[in-house]
Structure 1
Amino acid sequence: MTTTLTPQLRAGRREWAGLAVLMIPVLLISIDNTVLGFAIPAISTGLHPTGTQLLWIVDIYALMLAGLLVAMGSLGDRVGRRKLLIIGSVGFGAASLLAAFSTSAEMLILARALLGIFGATLMPSTLSLIRNIFDHDKDRRIAIATWAAMFSGGAALGPIVGGFLLEHFHWSSVFFINLPLIALFIPAAAILLPESRDPNPGRFDPFSIILSMLALAPLVFAIKHSMASGADLLFWFTLSVAIVAGASFGLRQLATPNPMLDVRLFANSVFTSAVVSNLLSLMGLAGFLYFGTQLLQLVLGLSPIDDALVLIPGLITSVAAGYLAVPLIARFEPRVVVPCALALNAVGMGIIAFTSEHSVMGMLLAFLILGIGLGTAEVITNDLILAAVPAHKAGAASAISETAYEFGSVMGTTVLGGLSTFMYGSALQSAIGDKADRAQFDTLGSALEYASGLSGAAGERITEAAVSAFDFGVQWAAGAAVVLVLVAAVLTSFGLKGAGRLLPRPASRSDSDR
């Protein structure tokens, strides 16, 4: 995009209107990341997926996003970011309809994969366009705070609307949420968003795309498989494929002066620390949403809408904390604020991990604290990601940041969700013996549905055993999340030493050239 704005000029009405339009695809992605969590109990009893299929229904969306964000960003650099946004939104709507009318677990997994593919066409342009539209430091930070808030806002909107729909309609209705947003976005984007292309984009490299997917998909599969079958030959084979493909991808990017993904950016410790912080904190959030909604609905007996209301305070505080982070970072060093925010995440997850008997108020308090920490850290780290690289690298930095978001979501569900599922199965096996191998016990939802069909003490015994086993799995997963975010806090306390205070930075010449 070519602009005649000088670095000192503040954003005008058109720029802020453009930001509002850019938030629609962010809402689409974040809504689909959280709304399905509230439908998991209904899906588990409606489509009867296995435990592994249930994890794939959740994970495949973010996995495809993470694997294709860089590739679609590179494509947008060539064909035009606005054009790709519009094309992707049409495909996203079509995939939403396919998901809504799914009649089997396999069909829903396919639809979610398509949602991830088209979702990858929507995301790469958002942060890079913010960096190009908003030259003034304060405007940019407010825009980034809004960007981060929309992720939390979408997470809030998804449960509210999704909970209402699940209360009155079939689980498939949650996918219809996307359609009115898409209908609003297409004409608004055509009118208010300027077309933007990179004058010197990295090459569109299909082989690198294949390598990135071969690194991500086998890694996720290996983790899931190990939770169900242990570290067998298939686990080691798929893990080896992921390692070799990941190393080959990195070497391929280093071998070209203009790569599809500039991995040289990771040489900057501030950039790397901020990205790692995002990834690990998103892992904790994704894991919480995966097992937390099942705990609230299936164990504590809340309806989907009541489940959503329990989590709403945490999502609201996450949005508020994101905006409060803007003045906060003007007074305190990032290497102090970010680790403290991550420590709050650990406290929130610790409430779940070390509470023997979970309650609605305990879950509300845990997510409230988690939301404050997450909202504060995300705004600061995303500003650092953009500020730590030259302006002409903003697109590459944005793609890496968004990839970390989505990969964190994948790994949160895979690792923490997989750990909770594994520990649940092990505990249930010990409680009721070989019966735990039956398909009816693969998920908590299916176990409770099976127990409800039994009479007398037998049904009560299985219900009690299943709930106790699930609680046990949740405690283990939450404990692992505590470790993850504490590791992130330690890493950022050292890695952000070179960040300094986020004082106003003058725009470079390349800013105005864009």
Structure 2
Amino acid sequence: MTSPTALRPDETRSHRGDRRAWWGLAVLVLPVLLVSMDMSVLYLALPAITADLDPSASEQLWILDAYGFLIAGLLITMGSLGDRIGRRRILLLGASLFGLASVIAAFAPTSALLIAARALMGIGGATLLPSSLSLITDLFADPRARGRAIGVWTAFFAGGAAVGPIIGGVLLHHFWWGSVFLINVPVLLVLLLAAPALLPERRVASGSPLDLASVVMSVVGIMAAVYAVKHVAEYGLDAVTLITGAVGVGLIVAFVRRQRTLTVPLVDLSLLANREFTVAIGSSLAGMMSLAAFSYLSSIYLQSVTGRDPLAAAYLGVPLAVTVFASSMYGSRIAERLGVSTTFVASLVLAALGSLMLLGVGVDGGVAWYVAGSAVAGLGYGTVFTLVSEVAVGSVPEEQTGAAVGVSETSFELGNALGLALLGSLAAWIFAAGGDFAPTLGETLESGAGAGVIDAAKQSFVDGMHLATAIGAGLMLLMAVLAARSRRR
């Protein structure tokens, strides 16, 4: 006799299918965590890399954001390519490239090779994000389960950026700086072994070829424009700045015009005509710019200005990591009670206020301001990042949701890279203008300069950090105002 509580055969299959889907999700969040973590894991490792490889100020920033810019430039392209050749296949190809590039980066003997390895990691990372999110849609047929799964995916993405410096600090306390790259290898091996058994393969037929001209225009245009910004911060306005800047702007303009003429564009610019969508994307861009600058500059401050070792600096980053991850997990529940619009605006304001609390730190003290400010900002950042995808996708017709997700992901990656390039370069320019120092604070500290020069260099760095984080906070407050106005309309 069958027990009253026993599952029927079809229910058993459904239960096993659900369990397999959640195991598949567990595998998919692994590359998401790595891609996000590798944006920030180098913040604490940079002083050690500087001491070993002696990169210039410009090379230091390229080590950090060559990775992010290639992800941002190739994200939509790789998503489209995955639809053509298979989402699981491109996930595994990207993971293999990411792992190989991580090994090269770990043992790179020069700054140039490290930058090249980071660029390869960016190419691999660009395949992992869109394919993992698309495979979640394939795994979960039930809309509610799919929504919970995407929430977990978002939490790991947002939390990875915050937890990266902590993991980096622990590794650097015990090993050399290359260990922050080698940690990727065992995680990727788990993905490569488990994915074929747990993840489905899916292709989407497309009658249009991939527009390679658009790919080249977007990537080269962004890289040239950013190089111009970095060059002017280090060397001032010269012919190199003007030429590369003109090339970058020209290619970006040509890219936009080309998208308007293509039947199947690489980026659907018609989405930007939707006010709510534009505000959501602008908020993710501003939020990631602010968070990237906040994390990068505060990591250098904790080590080079206050004299803490990487592990002690990592411990001070725990409040930011915890609050970002927790608010990412529960942001949607808060929005259900307060309303999405109200929660979205309040979170932007909260992140901005937390960032402004960094103005309380100084050369001789104020670390408590950093700890408190990072905890407050983390609550805002995590909630904003969770709601961005919900607002962006919910504001467009159903047939445009795929394109909306692609633009949303790109805004996160581009915001991270722009935060390092623009706000990081601004802080570097303020530092250089403060006196006759070596190109970076780390080099100045190791140059054997007198106490007066060291103190002046530390103060100039703090001044640059204050200005960069204040501008990042100002961008978020601006987006909060625009979001509030959009809500009223």
**Class of the TM-score when normalised by the shorter of the 2 chains:** over 0.9
Q: Equivalents in 1 of 2:133, 2:277: separation in Å?
A: 15
1:12 to partner: Cα distance: 2.2
Q: Which of 116, 120, 123 is the equivalent residue of 2:126?
A: 120
Following TM superposition, by how much is the alpha carbon of 1:443 offset from its aligned partner in structure 2, in angstroms? 0.9
Q: Decide which moves more: 127-136 or 210-219.
A: 127-136
Quick one: which of 249, 274, 277 aligns to 2:283? 277
Matches within 5 A, 1:105-504: 105-200=111-206, 203-356=209-362, 358-429=365-436, 436=437, 441-451=438-448, 459-496=450-487
| Structure 1 match to 2:4 | none
What CA distance in whole angstroms lies between the structure 2 residues aligned with 1:177 and 1:399? Answer: 28
Q: Distance in 1 between matches of 2:208 and 2:282?
A: 24
| CA deviations over 1:50-109 (Å, ceiling 9, x no partner) | 111101110100011111111111111100111000011111111001101111111111
The answer (yes or no) to whether the contact 2:166–2:315 under 8 Å persists in 1 is yes
Q: Which moved more, 1:92-101 or 1:465-474?
A: 465-474
Alignment partners' CA distance in 2, 1:340 and 1:301: 35
Q: Within 2, Cα distance between the matches of 1:366 and 1:137? A: 37
For 1:496 and 1:146, the matched residues in 2 are separated by: 27
> Are the equivalent residues in 2 in contact too, given 1:424–1:472 (CA < 8 A)?
yes
Residue identity matched to 1:181: V
Q: Deviations over 1:316-357 (max 9, x none)?
A: 111111222222222333322112111111111111135445
1:504 aligns with none
Give 1:489 deviation, angstroms: 1.3
Q: Is the 2:49–2:177 contact (alpha carbons within 8 Å) kept by the matching residues of 1?
A: yes
On the 8 A contact 1:152/1:315 being kept in 2, the answer is no
> Could you tell me how far 1:136 is from its partner in structure 2?
4.4
Q: 1:289-339: CA deviations, max 9, x gaps?
A: 111100011111221111111111211111111222222222333322112
Stretch moving more, 40-49 or 242-251: 242-251
- Are the equivalent residues in 2 in contact too, given 1:131–1:394 (CA < 8 A)? no
Between the aligned partners of 1:80 and 1:398, the Cα distance in structure 2 is 18
**Matched residue of 2:450: which SS?**
helix
Q: 1-side partners of 2:220 and 2:287: how far apart? A: 24
How well do the aligned residues superpose, as a CA RMSD in angstroms?
2.2
Question: What secondary structure is seen at the aligned counterpart in 2 of 1:302?
Answer: coil
Q: Report the equivalent of 1:66.
A: 72
Displacement, 1:368?
Answer: 0.6
Cross-structure match for 2:12: none
What is the aligned-residue identity percentage?
A: 38
Query: Contact 1:125/1:395 (CA < 8 Å) preserved in 2?
Result: no
CA contact (8 A) 1:201 1:258 kept: no
Q: TM-score, structure 1 length as denominator?
A: 0.88
Whole-Å Cα distance in 1 between the matches of residues 192 and 397 of structure 2?
31
Alpha-carbon spacing, 1:90–1:73, altered in 2? closer, same or farther (3 Å): same
On the 8 A contact 1:335/1:497 being kept in 2, the answer is no
> 8 Å contact 2:361–2:370 — kept in the other structure?
no
Corresponding residue of 2:6: none
1:88-146 deviation per Cα after TM superposition (whole angstroms, max 9, x unaligned): 11111110011011111111111111111111111112333334544545433322321
The one-letter amino acid of 1:495's match is: S
Question: Closer, same or farther in 2 for the Cα pair 1:15/1:399, shift >3 Å?
Answer: same
1:75 equivalent in alignment to 2:66:
no
SS at match of 2:125: helix
Higher relative contact order (CA 8 A, sep 6+): 1
1:228-277 Cα offsets, whole Å, 9 max, x none, are 23343432332222222122212222212222222222222222211111
After superposition, the C-alpha distances for 1:163-186 in whole angstroms (9 at most, x for unaligned) are 122112211111111001100101
SS of the residue 2:41 aligns to: helix
Deviations 1:409-437 (A, max 9, x none): 111001111111110111133xxxxxx3x
Seen in structure 2, the aligned counterparts of structure 1 residues 389 and 20 have a Cα distance that, compared at 3 Å, is: farther
Q: Cα offset for 1:209?
A: 0.6
Q: Which moved further from structure 2: 308-317 or 191-200? A: 191-200
- How many angstroms apart in 2 are the aligned matches of 1:255 and 1:497? 34
Equivalent residues of 1:142, 1:326 under 8 A apart: no
Instruction: Note if contact 2:360-2:369 (Cα within 8 Å) is conserved in structure 1.
Output: no
Output the amino acid matched with 1:444.
Answer: L
**Gap change, CA 1:384 and 1:168, over 3 Å in 2:** same
Check conservation: 1:353, 1:477, Cα contact below 8 A: no
Contact 1:73 1:121 in 2 (8 A): yes
State TM-score, norm by structure 2: 0.92
Secondary structure class of the residue paired with 2:90: helix
Structure 1: 5+ residue stretches without partners: 1-8, 430-435, 452-457, 499-514
| SS of corresponding position for 1:447 | helix
Distance in 2 of aligned mates of 1:247 and 1:421: 28
- Give the Cα separation in 2 of the matches to 1:133 and 1:211: 34
Gaps of 5+ in 2: 1-14
Match of 2:94 in 1: 88
**Which residue type is aligned with residue 199 of structure 1?**
A
CA distance in 1: counterparts of 2:321 and 2:40, whole angstroms:
11
